[in-house]
Structure 1
Amino acid sequence: MSYLKEFKNAVSRTRKLGLGEPTVNETAMPLDQAVLNAIEETGHIPFRQRAVQALSVNFGMFHMLTKKFHIPGGILTMGNVSVDGGMRFPVTPAHFRKMIENESGEDALGTYHLWTTLPGGLILDHVLPSTLSGEGLLKVNEALPAERYFYGPADELGHGIEYHPMVVGLEFLIASGTIDREAMEYLMGEKFPKQYGN
């Protein structure tokens, strides 16, 4: 199944959970390499530590993408990732529904993966390269910003990597008790970007 088809299923699932209905434009709007490298270079968590700080890293990069660089159309996406056919996280859609029912999102960090979906089904992930590099499955030259993240059409990433979205959008993080609403409103509101010098 194509990534965009899986993404649409995740949007439908998210809507049924009462968490809004984000949409992704099916027309790709590729990001300039200079912007991608600038986003990467503003990250403050060292490459080797990213594997164990997925929420902090990928939410932080999503935040910079939307608030500092003003790139529209990105949607935070939660789910599973497979490498050479093997699923990395033991999650199903029911897992995310239970997190909402029990508000156990904070306790469930590390049981699923999150990344940014961009228009056209492009993926932006600043965590998985760290994970795979640490396991010896991927060679990364840490001196090159472009090697420290995955970016590109989800169906063409290589390395046997496939992303499997299950729920989408920031509202999931609030409903699951991962981030409280007040903090999210501050982070994604109009006051916070002033810290980026805008």
Structure 2
Amino acid sequence: MTYLKEFKGAVSRTKKLGLGDVTVNETAVVLDQAVLNAIEATGHIPFRQRAVQGLNVNFGMFHMLAKKFHIPGGVLTMGNVAVNGEMRFPVTPAHFRKMVENESGEDALGTYHIWTTLPGGLILDHVLPSILAGDGLLEVDEAVPSERYLYGPADELPHGITYHPMVAGLEFLIASGTVDREAMEYLMGEKFPKQYKG
């Protein structure tokens, strides 16, 4: 099954949970290498620490993509990642439904993976390389910005990596009790981008 088909399934599950109707354009918007490197350069969490701060890192990069660099169409996506067919996070769609029902998202951090889906089914992930490097599955030259993140068509990623989306969109983080609604509205609202100027 292609990534975009799995993503559509995640969108359908998200809608059934009453968490909005998320879409991703099927026409790819390819990001310029200079923009990707600039996004990477704005991250303040050291590469080796990213593996244990997945939400902070990938939400922060998603936020910069949308608010600082004004790249439209990205969708924060939650689910599982496999390396050579081995799932790294033992979660199912029911896991996410329970997080919403029990508002237990904050306690469940680290049980699933979070990344950005870009138009055309491209993946942007600033955390997985840190996880795989820490496990000895990937060699990363930390001095090279493009090695510290993963970017590319989801169905053509290197190292046997496949992404398996289960829910999508910011509303999941609010409904699951992971991020407070007021904080999210501030972060994604019109006032916050001013902090990027100057």
TM value normalised by structure 2: 0.99
Hey, what does 2:58 align to over in structure 1? 58
Hey, what does 1:13 align to over in structure 2? 13
Hey, what does 1:186 align to over in structure 2? 186
* Partners of 2:71 and 2:124 in 1: CA distance: 12
Q: What amino acid is the match of 1:189?
A: G
* Partners of 1:88 and 1:29 in 2: CA distance: 28
* Partners of 2:82 and 2:144 in 1: CA distance: 25
Aligned residues: 198
- Alpha-carbon distance, 1:141 to partner: 0.6
**Percent of paired sites with the same residue:** 84
Q: What amino acid is the match of 2:39?
A: I
* CA-to-aligned-CA distance 1:26-84 (integer Å, 9 cap, x gap): 00010000000000000000000000000000000000000000000000000000001
Q: Secondary structure at the match of 2:89?
A: coil
* Partners of 2:140 and 2:87 in 1: CA distance: 22
* Partners of 1:31 and 1:123 in 2: CA distance: 11
Hey, what does 2:111 align to over in structure 1? 111
Which consecutive residues of structure 1, in runs of 5 or more, have no partner in the other structure? none
Hey, what does 2:128 align to over in structure 1? 128
- Alpha-carbon distance, 1:158 to partner: 1.4
* Partners of 1:88 and 1:195 in 2: CA distance: 36
* CA-to-aligned-CA distance 1:135-170 (integer Å, 9 cap, x gap): 110010100100000000000001010000000000
* Partners of 1:145 and 1:79 in 2: CA distance: 25
* CA-to-aligned-CA distance 1:76-127 (integer Å, 9 cap, x gap): 0000000011100010000000000000000000000000000000000000
For 1:123-162, list aligned pairs within 5 A. 123-162=123-162
- Alpha-carbon distance, 1:23 to partner: 0.4
Q: Secondary structure at the match of 1:63?
A: helix
Q: What amino acid is the match of 1:31?
A: L
Q: What amino acid is the match of 1:67?
A: K
Hey, what does 2:177 align to over in structure 1? 177
Q: Secondary structure at the match of 1:165?
A: strand
TM value normalised by structure 1: 0.99
Which consecutive residues of structure 2, in runs of 5 or more, have no partner in the other structure? none
